[in-house]
A and B are shown apart, each in its own frame.
Chain A
Amino acid sequence: NAGVTQTPKFRVLKTGQSMTLLCAQDMNHEYMYWYRQDPGMGLRLIHYSVGEGTTAKGEVPDGYNVSRLKKQNFLLGLESAAPSQTSVYFCASSLSGGRQETQYFGPGTRLLVL
């Protein structure tokens, strides 16, 4: 099993450009999450999904959209990138999203917005 994979690994954008980050998992997990990690801030939840076709907002959702068209994929979109969205983005998944479920993380996508 590859676990949780993310593409791309690194990307540079200009302000106003758009892009999509892809997360894929091969563990048949129901729940998937997008976090961002900034220096000194830990990881903060952007959006999450409790199953195919469903998404919900997390702690810092503004400026991002997500889609879960297939169970194994969770896409994070930036419609109009801003320098404040420079960050490292991590995707995670868990089997059923229960409150005692382990989350497994991908390797991250480093995004720089100029």
Chain B
Amino acid sequence: DADVTQTPRNRITKTGKRIMLECSQTKGHDRMYWYRQDPGLGLRLIYYSFDVKDINKGEISDGYSVSRQAQAKFSLSLESAIPNQTALYFCATSGPGQRETQYFGPGTRLLVL
């Protein structure tokens, strides 16, 4: 089984809809991250969390919110989706003792019409 899983893997939604992307990890890591990837722009950090009580904004948090329901679960919400949020979304985790290596999920491909 994969260490970091994301659901759904693909999603098509309409402008104005609320959607949630979910991430679960079995690595026992405290730190979790959400990134988006756009063609030619690399990955950019949306939000990150060091533990259940700690949530921090990343480079491009506007239009997004997150919830850390448990150490193993970190969800990303788009309250009112817009077309320029069409992208590939990745969840990642990291923990001490492994030189802060980040482990990535398989990604969620989101299309906002």
A pairs with B:
no
